[in-house]
Amino acid sequence: MTPTPPTPPSGRLRIAVLGAGSIGCHLGGLLAEVADVTLIGRPAGMAVVREHGLTLTGGGRPTVRVPAGGLRTATDPSGAEGADLVLVTVKSAATAEAAASVAGVLAPGAALVSFQNGLHNPALIRSAVGADHPVVAGMVPYNVLQTAPGTFHQGSGGALMIDDQPAGAPLAGAAAAAGLTVERRADMREVQHGKLLMNLNNAVNALAGVPLREELGQRAFRRCLALCQREALAAMRAEGVHPARLGALPTALMPRLLALPDGVFRRLAAATLKVDAEARSSTWEDLQRGRRTEIDSLQGEVVAMAGRHGLAAPANARLIELVREAEQAGPGGARVWAGAELLAELQAARPAGTRQRGPQRRIRDSH
């Protein structure tokens, strides 16, 4: 049952967060100072928020604490009733169902903003809620990890991005008032593809079982990511998409730079390693909590895109299989891969004529 909400302060933007996990709680907590926020999530997660409130750390800002009762919580779609904006942060596989669940309670003209991984969520939301509700594509560049009950840590940086359309203006204003950086972009299709390239590391990090900074500091793991990105870039070229540059590395050069020796990589791409010691991927967190991952919206998108153009994406396809095996093993039961082992596994999935030969294959992990 949804708790009885307090009366919102006059004139404040009313925001509902649909799918309040790590990203949703983080965004909702930061916006709570300037907006009337309702978190809609699983009963267990919302019970934690009601008991502990929210503590938001990292991201280069002072710790933000939202006391218990400082925002509303709900466990059913009625929590979106009366909202001016609904931030959709559910996992991609749940998008259609979640959007359909709130369609009947949305206020006239209420807008929805998709802050999700994957390429197709805004279209799925539009299909579910109809033409009377604007849908804004968004992108969260950083990772957020729950480190304790009600505590969410931002482990890397970057600006939120949203589609440059009028429906996104209220969110941009509220975010700016809350101290968040928001870029309004006219190229969200390219941004989404650029984020997909970055997110191909999620599975590598999850299977490595180490923090992101440690994983990206090892050449063998970076070469695993480079294999995935080469396949993705080929598929995107065939699709006619030029992914946006979102980080320190030029998009087309990322696979080559990732494969450089550790010392050279650190000198050329130091900004890529500017993640703190706690940061891990959302795929790692899903496996630790026994949840289904978003692998179909990450490596799965690459395999599907490549297939549409008669291309193969064997490294990405093999990672899907390995993550599925980890899901089935359950929390604590999945294999932890060393960099050289995972690299050999992905190289073995490639057709013999395309495998790298010679000294480059003799790679040791650098610990």
Please determine, for residue 4, whether its predicted confidence score (pLDDT) is greater than 50: no
The tens digit of pLDDT for each residue in 29-42 reads 999 999 999 999 99
The tens digit of pLDDT for each residue in 68-123 reads 888 999 999 999 999 999 999 999 999 999 999 999 999 999 999 999 999 999 99
Q: Mean per-residue pLDDT for 296-321?
A: 97
Please determine, for residue 271, whether its predicted confidence score (pLDDT) is greater than 90: no
Q: What is the mean pLDDT of the chain?
A: 90
Strand 35-40 relative to strand 13-18: parallel, antiparallel, unpaired? Answer: parallel
Torsions phi, psi for 221 (to 5 deg): -65, -40
The confidence band for 353, taking pLDDT boundaries of 50, 70 and 90, is low
Question: Which pLDDT belongs to residue 265?
Answer: 87
Residue 176 amino acid letter: A
Residue 313 amino acid letter: A
Is the distance from CB of 156 to CB of 143 less than 8 angstroms? yes
* SS3 labels along the chain: CCCCCCCCCCCCEEEEEECCCHHHHHHHHHHCCCEEEEEECCHHHHHHHHHHCEEEEECCCCCEEECCCCCEEECCHHHHCCCCEEEECCCHHHHHHHHHHHHCCCCCCCEEEEECCCCCHHHHHHHHHCCCCCEEEEECCCCEEEEECCEEEECCCCCEEEECCHHHHHHHHHHHHCCCCEEEECCHHHHHHHHHHHHCHHHHHHHHCCCHHHHHCCHHHHHHHHHHHHHHHHHHHHHCCCCCCCCCCCHHHHHHHHCCCHHHHHHHCHHHHCCCCCCCCHHHHHHHCCCCCCHHHCHHHHHHHHHHCCCCCHHHHHHHHHHHHHHHHCCCCCCCCCHHHHHHHHHHCCCHHHCCCHHHHCCCCCC
CATH architecture of 13-186: 3-Layer(aba) Sandwich (3.40)
Map out the domains of the chain as residue ranges.
13-186, 191-361
Please determine, for residue 366, whether its predicted confidence score (pLDDT) is greater than 60: no
The tens digit of pLDDT for each residue in 176-199 reads 999 999 999 999 999 999 999 999
Q: How many CA atoms lie within 13 A of 286 on its CB side?
A: 22
pTM: 0.88
CATH of domain 191-361: 1.10.1040.10
